[in-house]
Amino acid sequence: MRGFKYILLSAFAFVLFTMATPKSQAQVSIGIGIGAEPACPYGYYGYAPYRCAPYGYYGPEWFSNGAFVGAGRWHRGPVFYGHINRSYDPRFGYHGAYPNRGEHFDNRDFHEFHGSHWSDNRGRYHTEGQHGHYDHGHH
């Protein structure tokens, strides 16, 4: 009789604990997302971490009606090479100011722009002299 009492008590405790515990439902989702395009007034670098580029890094062909055409994973349109000024690239020693995300293009006309290199939309550079060796972004 004593054994039956312990079995009954154990069964009661098991039922009590399973009812008192909230049920959780596992949710599994798989997706490939690249996140939102950085909102930068003068574009962003075409390589991770996609930091906002300062005015003067990109030439006028990188903009359409004041809107940046995109670089890196958010580039819109066919692959192309455009002018950039590599002295504004932190990988090559730039330590100046950067615009903040969300700032707006101030309608500069790029008359002060001085390109030093060509770059594709992924941030790969070559010089003006090398540009003739490339055909429509293929090398």
The answer to whether the CB of 113 falls within 8 A of the CB of 56 is yes
Tell me: the pLDDT tens digits for 2-55?
665 656 556 555 555 555 545 444 444 343 446 788 889 899 998 888 899 999
Per-residue pLDDT at 139 exceeds 70: no
pTM of the model: 0.64
pLDDT-derived band of residue 100, with 50, 70 and 90 as boundaries? Answer: confident
Tell me: the pLDDT tens digits for 41-95?
899 998 888 899 999 999 988 888 878 888 888 887 777 788 999 999 999 999 9
- pLDDT value for 138: 39
- pLDDT value for 2: 65
Q: How many angstroms separate the CA atoms of 6 and 45, rounded?
A: 70
Q: How many angstroms separate the CA atoms of 65 and 101, rounded?
A: 19
- pLDDT value for 27: 42
Delimit the domains of the chain by residue range: 36-139
Q: How many angstroms separate the CA atoms of 128 and 59, rounded?
A: 14
